[in-house]
Structure 1
Amino acid sequence: MALVALVVSGCGTAGTARPAAQARAAKCTWFPANGFYHADVRKLPRHPRSAAFVRSIGSTGRLKADFGSGTWEGRPFGIPITKVAPGTPKVKVSFTYRSESDEGPYAIPKNAKVEGGRGAAGDRHVLAVDPAACVLYELFAAYPKAGGTWRAGSGAIFNLRSNRLRPAGWTSADAAGLSIAAPLVKYDETKRGSIDHVLRLTVPRVRNTYVWPARHRVGGATSASLPPLGTWLRLKSSVNLAKFPRSVRPILRALQVHGAIIADIGSAWYLSGTQDKRWNNDALRALGGVRGSDFEAVDAVRLRVSKNSGQVR
């Protein structure tokens, strides 16, 4: 599988990289090619509870892009990724959930974009990627403080050249303990016509456990009909992509080849993507032609090499 170099165009940029840094950045990708983010799930068997999981999310529900151009209810739409310029100083972050957060420091610039904008409520994710160092910094409920420091609910630092998972039971900036930035639908890869990774999905209810590759659980629901965090869903091969606008077919193709992982609580069948003014909202709305019943859960644990690693067979 050919991986595209990590080029974070169309994102908030904290500065201009020097040529040497750009050359190093070209060797950095969104995690290794042999990791679960890039796994092909077309041949995996259906999960024995697939039908129950899909019913619990909503068989008649519609797929929705939780991102787009412009604003939604007055706020920027989607989750932004800020590119870290060489020489950006690392700063201290104070955490509410300190015991499950990476201490840092974090290379997050003062002008880093916040999900929903600087005045937003909600999740307020901040995602900052340093392509030269191949390191990703992610914060949940992030608020800037005086002097360039931040406070946040939780945070995680990912080495993009490593398949190592977070400690068992730890959250990240996401409920499932996974990266948010890596599985986002990104405009440039969609425009290119090829998305080579799993996507991020939210659902209203989950069981109070988690399955690989997730590392964290939420809530108190115990019903076996509910999917745990980390559940992997695949768009059925019977879905005819030709009836959808050409610009969104790469998204649907990725859902057939790589699938989507339930990573957080939210609205049913909401697909996460980047904030980008170039999205065609009319085309993205066409994703609503996919129903919940067009998905099936798969037994992704069969891909696992080790419970503490994201490497796949």
Structure 2
Amino acid sequence: MTKLYASLALGLLAAACGGGGGSAPIATENASAPAPVAAAPAAAPPADSTIDCPMFPASAIFNTRIDDTARFPVHADNAAWQELVGRATPFTANWGTSSNPSDLQDYWGMPFNVVDAAATQWPLVSFDYAASGLVFEASYPAQSDCASSADGSGVVRGCTQVPASQRRFPFPSGTTLAEGGDCGGPSGCGDRHVLVVDKAACRLWEAFYAHRIAGQWYAVATASWDLRSNAMRPDGWGAADAAGLPITPLLAKANEAASGEIRHALRVTFRDAALSLQHVWPARFAAGSDNPGAIPFGSLLRLRADFAIPDAWSPQAKAVARAAQRYGLYVADNGADLHVQGAPDSAWDPAVWQQLRSITMADMEFVDTGAITRDARFAKDSLQAGW
């Protein structure tokens, strides 16, 4: 996704020109503000037993089943978008079989960190890569989230409203698990996502192109969500991914798959030429080149109900396929076509990759979510999909 942030400047400028004038006050999540929707029902079960937090409420769109074809029919543009991708394109499980960050051959995908903020340092994060002397990467503090104090409190929307000397992010104090593993620094890494769940506050933090150089952490963009809330970041803002969606709740995880059931949606990428420079709810942003009529960011894809999941498949492959049927895949970023992201883990059954590759784009279908977005109770700034 690195090339995407090179194209964000135009989008950020357009967003900046769309509102009124004047200086905005510091926007903190601790400030009192009306909730965008009514209180959510009981939270969904934790996605991982080590997290002990919900991955958003049960009513959030990512935790909502969309396999009722009467309520969620096939999208009108399904055939055109399938052809754009290629109907023979295989479903690719984009995660590795190693838990060792130094095993660069098999440690690929997006790992996540779980920390307890009360026992974790909150290092400063700089968005000024030029100061590192090693790499220059344009950064976007104005659309990033920061903690404004050393204990992690005072979450601020728009890091430019916080002095550079006070911008903090919960990078773990010891080993930090990151996309690319122990890749040797910026010259050896790609997007370098760092995903962190603060289990004390049930808050998710995600950073894009994050590196520690000479003791200082740098990032291109950072984003945060309250995992107990359906509240979304501002529309028009990117995040650690191009669609402005959270990454961690949409990852395939080995322990969930081994349990036989994944009770949430997954994330999927397509190549830039297959994506439009438009976004639809629940996405908040789009990046890349402008391809009118192509797939918008935030679009929902599901495995067709008539795809018979083979009995001979491993329990993990069956669980991933059923999640694709029941909860779907959200178009989250530019990348390779029909690549579905997960966390690297030695607990993955090696058979999963080849088994899932027998699913092709012809077995998938894009979904019309109008049953939610055209409901009078729908709020575009909330993840809530049920009432």
Q: Do both share a fold (TM > 0.5)? A: yes
Note the C-alpha offset of 1:36.
Answer: 0.8
Q: Partner letter of residue 46 of structure 1?
A: V
* Deviations 1:235-268 (CA, angstroms, capped at 9, x unpaired): 1000001255132101000101000001001111
Q: Is 1:152 matched with 2:215?
A: no
Please point out which of 167, 171, 176 is paired with 1:112.
176
Query: 1:78–1:275: 8 Å Cα contact kept in structure 2?
Result: yes
Q: Is 1:37 matched with 2:69?
A: no
* Deviations 1:23-72 (CA, angstroms, capped at 9, x unpaired): xx63x211110001101111201111011111112211100100120388
**Relative to structure 1, is the Cα distance of residues 6 and 46 closer, same or farther in structure 2, using a 3 angstrom cutoff?**
closer
Q: Partner letter of residue 311 of structure 1?
A: Q
Please point out which of 260, 268, 275 is paired with 1:201.
268
| Distance in 1 (alpha carbons) for counterparts of 2:292 and 2:314 | 39
| Distance in 1 (alpha carbons) for counterparts of 2:201 and 2:47 | 11
| Distance in 1 (alpha carbons) for counterparts of 2:214 and 2:58 | 39
| Distance in 2 (alpha carbons) for counterparts of 1:63 and 1:92 | 39
**Relative to structure 1, is the Cα distance of residues 268 and 244 closer, same or farther in structure 2, using a 3 angstrom cutoff?**
farther
Q: Which residue of 2 aligns with 1:246?
A: 314
| Distance in 2 (alpha carbons) for counterparts of 1:264 and 1:188 | 25
Q: Secondary structure at the match of 1:182?
A: helix
Matches within 5 A, 1:259-274: 259-274=328-343
Q: Secondary structure at the match of 1:256?
A: helix
Q: Which residue of 1 aligns with 2:46?
A: 5
Q: Which residue of 2 aligns with 1:236?
A: 304
Q: Which residue of 1 aligns with 2:161?
A: none
| Distance in 2 (alpha carbons) for counterparts of 1:183 and 1:103 | 22
Please point out which of 285, 295, 302 is paired with 2:354.
285
Query: 1:108–1:137: 8 Å Cα contact kept in structure 2?
Result: no
| Distance in 2 (alpha carbons) for counterparts of 1:218 and 1:107 | 26
Note the C-alpha offset of 1:8.
Answer: 5.3
Q: Which residue of 1 aligns with 2:379?
A: 306
Note the C-alpha offset of 1:2.
Answer: 8.2
Please point out which of 95, 109, 119 is paired with 1:78.
109
Query: 1:75–1:116: 8 Å Cα contact kept in structure 2?
Result: no
| Distance in 1 (alpha carbons) for counterparts of 2:198 and 2:330 | 25
| Distance in 2 (alpha carbons) for counterparts of 1:32 and 1:185 | 18
Note the C-alpha offset of 1:219.
Answer: 2.1
Query: 1:39–1:258: 8 Å Cα contact kept in structure 2?
Result: yes
Q: Which residue of 2 aligns with 1:67?
A: 95
Matches within 5 A, 1:97-246: 97-104=140-147, 105-110=168-173, 111-119=175-183, 120-147=188-215, 149-204=216-271, 205-224=274-293, 226-243=294-311, 245-246=313-314
| Distance in 2 (alpha carbons) for counterparts of 1:2 and 1:279 | 27
> Which structure's CA Rg is the greater one?
2
Q: Partner letter of residue 192 of structure 2?
A: R
* Deviations 1:179-233 (CA, angstroms, capped at 9, x unpaired): 1100000111101111111100011130011000000011232321x10100100
| Distance in 2 (alpha carbons) for counterparts of 1:39 and 1:273 | 19
Note the C-alpha offset of 1:283.
Answer: 2.6
Query: 2:255–2:347: 8 Å Cα contact kept in structure 1?
Result: no
| Distance in 1 (alpha carbons) for counterparts of 2:60 and 2:241 | 19
| TM-score (normalised: structure 2) | 0.72
* Deviations 1:73-123 (CA, angstroms, capped at 9, x unpaired): 636122111111341022222231112111332222142111111324111
RMSD of Structure 2 on Structure 1 (CA): 1.9
Q: Partner letter of residue 298 of structure 2?
A: G
**Relative to structure 1, is the Cα distance of residues 131 and 2 closer, same or farther in structure 2, using a 3 angstrom cutoff?**
closer
| Distance in 1 (alpha carbons) for counterparts of 2:320 and 2:221 | 29
Give the stretch that moved more between structures: 241-250 or 164-173. Answer: 241-250
Q: Secondary structure at the match of 1:251?
A: helix
Residue identity over aligned pairs, in percent, reads 34
